[in-house]
Amino acid sequence: MRYLFFVLLLAACSTPQPPASIASSATDQAHAACTATAGEMPQLVGITVSDDAADFEDMRTLRVTDEASGGFLLVHYDSGSEAMARATAACLGAQIATIGREVGDERKAAQWDSVVFTQTAFNNLTSPGEVTRWPVFVQDDSQLDFRSVKAIGWVIPHEQVHAYQAQNGFNFPRWLAEGHAVWIDFKLADRFDPIVTARQIAARAQKATESEGPLKLLEWGKHQPRREAYYRQVGDEERAKMDADLSYYPSGVFTFTDDDFEVEYVANDQARYLAAFRVLKGLEDRHGAAAVHAWIADLVTSHNAPISDGVVDTSLQTHFGETLGEVLDNLG
Protein backbone atom coordinates (compact mmCIF):
# COMPACT_ATOMS: atom_id res chain seq x y z
CA MET A 1 0.00 0.00 0.00
CA ARG A 2 1.28 3.45 -0.83
CA TYR A 3 0.57 6.61 1.17
CA LEU A 4 1.00 10.08 -0.21
CA PHE A 5 1.68 12.85 2.25
CA PHE A 6 2.08 16.44 1.26
CA VAL A 7 3.75 19.52 2.70
CA LEU A 8 3.50 23.13 1.56
CA LEU A 9 7.01 24.49 2.04
CA LEU A 10 8.01 28.12 2.03
CA ALA A 11 9.90 29.26 -1.06
CA ALA A 12 13.66 29.64 -0.80
CA CYS A 13 14.95 33.09 0.06
CA SER A 14 16.11 33.59 -3.54
CA THR A 15 12.59 33.12 -4.91
CA PRO A 16 9.46 35.25 -4.50
CA GLN A 17 7.79 34.70 -1.14
CA PRO A 18 4.27 33.22 -1.09
CA PRO A 19 1.35 35.25 0.20
CA ALA A 20 1.14 35.35 3.99
CA SER A 21 -2.00 33.19 3.97
CA ILE A 22 -0.20 30.40 2.09
CA ALA A 23 2.88 30.64 4.29
CA SER A 24 0.69 30.48 7.39
CA SER A 25 -1.14 27.47 5.99
CA ALA A 26 2.16 25.70 5.31
CA THR A 27 3.34 26.29 8.87
CA ASP A 28 0.00 25.19 10.30
CA GLN A 29 0.06 21.97 8.26
CA ALA A 30 3.64 21.16 9.25
CA HIS A 31 2.77 21.82 12.90
CA ALA A 32 -0.30 19.57 12.65
CA ALA A 33 1.80 16.80 11.11
CA CYS A 34 4.41 17.05 13.86
CA THR A 35 1.86 16.89 16.67
CA ALA A 36 -0.28 14.09 15.24
CA THR A 37 -1.28 11.24 17.53
CA ALA A 38 -1.40 7.51 16.88
CA GLY A 39 -4.13 6.68 14.37
CA GLU A 40 -3.86 9.98 12.50
CA MET A 41 -2.21 10.16 9.06
CA PRO A 42 -1.76 13.82 8.07
CA GLN A 43 -1.30 14.53 4.38
CA LEU A 44 1.20 17.19 3.28
CA VAL A 45 2.02 18.30 -0.27
CA GLY A 46 5.42 17.27 -1.64
CA ILE A 47 6.21 14.42 0.78
CA THR A 48 5.66 10.78 -0.18
CA VAL A 49 5.50 8.03 2.43
CA SER A 50 5.51 4.42 1.25
CA ASP A 51 6.17 0.96 2.62
CA ASP A 52 9.75 -0.08 1.92
CA ALA A 53 11.32 -3.50 1.52
CA ALA A 54 14.47 -2.45 3.41
CA ASP A 55 13.34 -3.97 6.69
CA PHE A 56 15.66 -3.53 9.66
CA GLU A 57 16.16 -6.36 12.14
CA ASP A 58 12.63 -7.54 13.03
CA MET A 59 11.06 -4.16 12.18
CA ARG A 60 9.08 -2.91 9.22
CA THR A 61 10.14 0.18 7.26
CA LEU A 62 8.64 3.28 5.67
CA ARG A 63 10.47 5.35 3.08
CA VAL A 64 9.77 9.08 3.42
CA THR A 65 10.74 11.15 0.38
CA ASP A 66 10.95 14.87 -0.34
CA GLU A 67 9.63 14.94 -3.89
CA ALA A 68 11.43 18.16 -4.84
CA SER A 69 14.95 16.85 -4.18
CA GLY A 70 14.44 13.10 -4.01
CA GLY A 71 16.03 13.19 -0.56
CA PHE A 72 14.68 10.54 1.79
CA LEU A 73 14.90 8.93 5.18
CA LEU A 74 13.88 5.50 6.42
CA VAL A 75 11.47 5.11 9.34
CA HIS A 76 11.61 1.75 11.10
CA TYR A 77 8.98 0.53 13.57
CA ASP A 78 8.18 -2.52 15.67
CA SER A 79 4.73 -4.06 15.90
CA GLY A 80 3.55 -1.85 18.76
CA SER A 81 4.80 1.38 17.21
CA GLU A 82 3.32 1.26 13.70
CA ALA A 83 0.47 3.70 14.34
CA MET A 84 2.81 6.31 15.79
CA ALA A 85 5.38 5.84 13.03
CA ARG A 86 2.77 6.38 10.33
CA ALA A 87 1.32 9.37 12.19
CA THR A 88 4.75 11.06 12.39
CA ALA A 89 6.29 10.09 9.04
CA ALA A 90 5.00 13.20 7.22
CA CYS A 91 6.50 15.43 9.90
CA LEU A 92 9.92 13.81 9.50
CA GLY A 93 9.70 14.33 5.75
CA ALA A 94 8.76 17.98 6.22
CA GLN A 95 11.82 18.40 8.43
CA ILE A 96 14.38 17.17 5.90
CA ALA A 97 12.69 19.13 3.11
CA THR A 98 12.65 22.35 5.15
CA ILE A 99 16.21 21.93 6.42
CA GLY A 100 17.42 21.19 2.89
CA ARG A 101 15.85 24.36 1.56
CA GLU A 102 17.19 26.49 4.40
CA VAL A 103 20.81 25.32 4.03
CA GLY A 104 20.69 25.40 0.21
CA ASP A 105 21.23 21.64 -0.12
CA GLU A 106 21.88 20.87 -3.80
CA ARG A 107 22.12 17.08 -3.41
CA LYS A 108 19.68 14.86 -5.26
CA ALA A 109 18.23 11.67 -3.74
CA ALA A 110 20.39 12.08 -0.62
CA GLN A 111 19.71 9.78 2.32
CA TRP A 112 19.19 11.48 5.68
CA ASP A 113 19.43 9.88 9.11
CA SER A 114 16.87 7.19 9.94
CA VAL A 115 14.35 7.14 12.78
CA VAL A 116 13.33 4.04 14.77
CA PHE A 117 9.98 3.91 16.59
CA THR A 118 10.16 1.22 19.25
CA GLN A 119 8.62 0.07 22.51
CA THR A 120 11.78 -1.71 23.62
CA ALA A 121 15.38 -0.78 24.35
CA PHE A 122 17.30 0.11 21.19
CA ASN A 123 21.06 0.50 21.01
CA ASN A 124 21.91 -0.17 17.35
CA LEU A 125 22.33 3.50 16.44
CA THR A 126 24.78 3.04 13.58
CA SER A 127 27.40 0.84 12.00
CA PRO A 128 30.28 1.64 9.60
CA GLY A 129 29.04 2.92 6.25
CA GLU A 130 25.47 3.35 7.46
CA VAL A 131 23.42 6.35 8.48
CA THR A 132 22.62 7.01 12.12
CA ARG A 133 19.31 5.70 13.47
CA TRP A 134 17.63 7.89 16.09
CA PRO A 135 15.25 6.11 18.50
CA VAL A 136 11.79 7.36 19.45
CA PHE A 137 10.28 5.38 22.30
CA VAL A 138 6.56 4.64 22.11
CA GLN A 139 4.47 3.96 25.22
CA ASP A 140 2.25 0.92 25.70
CA ASP A 141 -0.79 3.04 24.74
CA SER A 142 0.94 3.82 21.39
CA GLN A 143 1.42 7.48 22.36
CA LEU A 144 4.59 9.48 23.12
CA ASP A 145 5.86 10.90 26.40
CA PHE A 146 7.52 14.32 26.42
CA ARG A 147 10.99 12.83 25.96
CA SER A 148 9.89 11.37 22.63
CA VAL A 149 7.95 14.49 21.65
CA LYS A 150 11.16 16.44 22.25
CA ALA A 151 13.10 13.93 20.14
CA ILE A 152 10.78 14.50 17.17
CA GLY A 153 10.37 18.26 17.53
CA TRP A 154 13.92 19.24 18.49
CA VAL A 155 16.57 16.53 18.71
CA ILE A 156 16.01 14.86 15.34
CA PRO A 157 15.91 18.12 13.30
CA HIS A 158 19.16 19.17 15.03
CA GLU A 159 20.77 15.84 14.21
CA GLN A 160 19.55 16.01 10.61
CA VAL A 161 21.50 19.27 10.24
CA HIS A 162 24.55 17.38 11.48
CA ALA A 163 23.77 14.62 8.96
CA TYR A 164 23.81 17.26 6.21
CA GLN A 165 27.08 18.63 7.57
CA ALA A 166 28.71 15.18 7.68
CA GLN A 167 27.72 14.34 4.11
CA ASN A 168 28.91 17.68 2.76
CA GLY A 169 32.43 17.89 4.15
CA PHE A 170 31.83 20.12 7.17
CA ASN A 171 35.13 19.63 9.01
CA PHE A 172 34.40 22.44 11.46
CA PRO A 173 35.52 23.02 15.03
CA ARG A 174 32.77 21.77 17.31
CA TRP A 175 31.67 25.26 18.35
CA LEU A 176 31.01 26.19 14.73
CA ALA A 177 29.35 22.89 13.79
CA GLU A 178 27.00 23.17 16.78
CA GLY A 179 26.48 26.89 16.29
CA HIS A 180 25.45 26.31 12.68
CA ALA A 181 23.10 23.46 13.66
CA VAL A 182 21.42 25.41 16.48
CA TRP A 183 21.16 28.50 14.25
CA ILE A 184 19.20 26.40 11.75
CA ASP A 185 17.20 24.83 14.61
CA PHE A 186 16.02 28.17 15.92
CA LYS A 187 14.99 29.29 12.45
CA LEU A 188 12.89 26.24 11.70
CA ALA A 189 11.95 24.25 14.79
CA ASP A 190 8.90 26.31 15.76
CA ARG A 191 7.36 25.34 12.40
CA PHE A 192 7.33 21.75 13.63
CA ASP A 193 6.43 22.11 17.32
CA PRO A 194 6.36 25.62 18.81
CA ILE A 195 5.79 24.33 22.36
CA VAL A 196 8.86 22.08 22.32
CA THR A 197 10.91 24.85 20.72
CA ALA A 198 9.92 27.42 23.34
CA ARG A 199 10.77 25.01 26.15
CA GLN A 200 14.17 24.19 24.64
CA ILE A 201 15.05 27.85 24.11
CA ALA A 202 14.07 28.62 27.70
CA ALA A 203 16.09 25.66 28.99
CA ARG A 204 19.18 26.75 27.04
CA ALA A 205 18.83 30.30 28.33
CA GLN A 206 18.50 29.04 31.90
CA LYS A 207 21.64 26.92 31.52
CA ALA A 208 23.49 29.95 30.24
CA THR A 209 22.56 31.96 33.34
CA GLU A 210 23.61 29.06 35.60
CA SER A 211 26.99 28.47 33.97
CA GLU A 212 30.04 29.22 36.05
CA GLY A 213 33.43 30.37 34.87
CA PRO A 214 34.48 31.11 31.28
CA LEU A 215 32.79 29.09 28.53
CA LYS A 216 36.07 28.54 26.67
CA LEU A 217 34.06 28.14 23.47
CA LEU A 218 37.07 27.49 21.24
CA GLU A 219 38.13 24.58 23.46
CA TRP A 220 34.78 22.82 23.04
CA GLY A 221 35.32 19.32 21.70
CA LYS A 222 39.06 19.43 22.33
CA HIS A 223 38.74 18.45 25.97
CA GLN A 224 40.02 14.97 26.79
CA PRO A 225 38.35 12.78 29.41
CA ARG A 226 40.42 12.13 32.50
CA ARG A 227 43.27 9.70 31.87
CA GLU A 228 41.91 7.21 34.38
CA ALA A 229 38.77 6.88 32.22
CA TYR A 230 40.98 5.44 29.47
CA TYR A 231 43.15 3.54 31.93
CA ARG A 232 40.33 1.40 33.28
CA GLN A 233 39.29 0.35 29.76
CA VAL A 234 42.63 -0.82 28.33
CA GLY A 235 44.93 -3.75 28.93
CA ASP A 236 48.33 -3.93 30.58
CA GLU A 237 50.25 -3.09 27.39
CA GLU A 238 48.37 0.17 26.80
CA ARG A 239 48.59 1.05 30.49
CA ALA A 240 52.37 0.66 30.33
CA LYS A 241 52.49 3.08 27.39
CA MET A 242 50.37 5.60 29.29
CA ASP A 243 52.63 5.27 32.34
CA ALA A 244 55.73 5.82 30.22
CA ASP A 245 54.38 8.81 28.29
CA LEU A 246 51.91 11.16 30.00
CA SER A 247 50.94 12.67 26.63
CA TYR A 248 49.95 9.27 25.19
CA TYR A 249 46.26 8.42 24.80
CA PRO A 250 45.24 4.99 23.45
CA SER A 251 43.11 4.70 20.32
CA GLY A 252 39.96 2.61 20.03
CA VAL A 253 36.32 2.70 21.07
CA PHE A 254 35.69 3.85 24.65
CA THR A 255 32.68 4.64 26.81
CA PHE A 256 32.66 7.82 28.88
CA THR A 257 30.21 9.37 31.32
CA ASP A 258 29.93 12.93 32.64
CA ASP A 259 31.97 11.84 35.65
CA ASP A 260 34.93 11.19 33.34
CA PHE A 261 35.24 14.90 32.50
CA GLU A 262 36.11 17.91 34.58
CA VAL A 263 33.02 19.23 36.35
CA GLU A 264 33.42 22.75 34.90
CA TYR A 265 33.59 21.37 31.36
CA VAL A 266 30.41 19.33 31.69
CA ALA A 267 28.48 21.99 33.61
CA ASN A 268 29.01 24.59 30.88
CA ASP A 269 28.25 22.29 27.97
CA GLN A 270 24.63 23.40 27.45
CA ALA A 271 25.62 27.06 27.76
CA ARG A 272 28.10 26.55 24.94
CA TYR A 273 25.28 25.59 22.56
CA LEU A 274 23.62 28.94 23.12
CA ALA A 275 26.90 30.85 22.87
CA ALA A 276 27.79 29.08 19.62
CA PHE A 277 24.34 29.94 18.24
CA ARG A 278 24.85 33.59 19.20
CA VAL A 279 28.02 33.71 17.09
CA LEU A 280 25.99 32.82 13.97
CA LYS A 281 22.99 34.91 15.01
CA GLY A 282 25.21 37.93 15.62
CA LEU A 283 26.71 37.60 12.14
CA GLU A 284 23.20 37.31 10.70
CA ASP A 285 22.03 40.42 12.55
CA ARG A 286 25.00 42.44 11.29
CA HIS A 287 25.33 41.09 7.75
CA GLY A 288 22.18 39.12 6.84
CA ALA A 289 21.31 35.42 6.68
CA ALA A 290 22.33 35.08 3.02
CA ALA A 291 25.84 36.32 3.83
CA VAL A 292 26.18 33.79 6.66
CA HIS A 293 25.03 30.94 4.41
CA ALA A 294 27.55 32.07 1.77
CA TRP A 295 30.33 32.19 4.37
CA ILE A 296 29.56 28.66 5.58
CA ALA A 297 29.47 27.37 2.00
CA ASP A 298 32.83 29.01 1.22
CA LEU A 299 34.43 27.46 4.31
CA VAL A 300 33.30 24.01 3.15
CA THR A 301 34.27 24.32 -0.51
CA SER A 302 37.60 26.07 0.06
CA HIS A 303 39.10 23.68 2.62
CA ASN A 304 39.38 19.89 2.45
CA ALA A 305 41.27 19.35 5.71
CA PRO A 306 39.71 19.88 9.15
CA ILE A 307 39.11 23.60 9.55
CA SER A 308 41.02 25.25 12.38
CA ASP A 309 40.06 28.32 14.37
CA GLY A 310 42.81 30.16 12.49
CA VAL A 311 41.16 29.35 9.16
CA VAL A 312 37.81 30.53 10.55
CA ASP A 313 39.47 33.76 11.70
CA THR A 314 40.92 34.47 8.24
CA SER A 315 37.61 33.63 6.57
CA LEU A 316 35.66 35.92 8.90
CA GLN A 317 37.96 38.80 8.02
CA THR A 318 37.56 38.10 4.30
CA HIS A 319 33.77 37.86 4.37
CA PHE A 320 32.77 40.24 7.14
CA GLY A 321 35.82 42.34 8.03
CA GLU A 322 35.73 40.95 11.57
CA THR A 323 38.26 38.83 13.44
CA LEU A 324 37.24 35.76 15.43
CA GLY A 325 38.24 37.59 18.59
CA GLU A 326 35.95 40.49 17.72
CA VAL A 327 33.09 38.10 16.95
CA LEU A 328 33.50 36.41 20.32
CA ASP A 329 33.75 39.77 22.07
CA ASN A 330 30.35 40.67 20.59
CA LEU A 331 28.82 37.86 22.65
CA GLY A 332 29.13 40.14 25.68
CB atoms within 10 A of CB 286: 13
pTM of the model: 0.78
142 CB-contact burial (10 Å; exposed 0-12 / middle 13-18 / buried 19+): middle
Neighbouring residues of 273: CB distance < 8 A, sequence distance ≥ 6: 178, 182, 204
pLDDT of 123 over the 70 cut: no
Q: What is the pLDDT of residues 163-194, one digit of tens each?
A: 999 888 888 999 999 999 999 998 888 788 87
Q: What is the pLDDT of residues 246-280, one digit of tens each?
A: 767 787 667 777 677 664 555 577 788 889 999 99
**Rounded distance between C-alpha atoms, residue 314 and residue 330, angstroms:** 17
Q: For all residues of the chain together, what is the average pLDDT?
A: 82
Q: What is the pLDDT of residues 228-249, one digit of tens each?
A: 888 888 888 888 888 887 767 7
Where do the structural domains in the chain lie, given as residue ranges? 2-168, 205-223+262-329
**pLDDT for 261:** 67
329 CB-contact burial (10 Å; exposed 0-12 / middle 13-18 / buried 19+): exposed
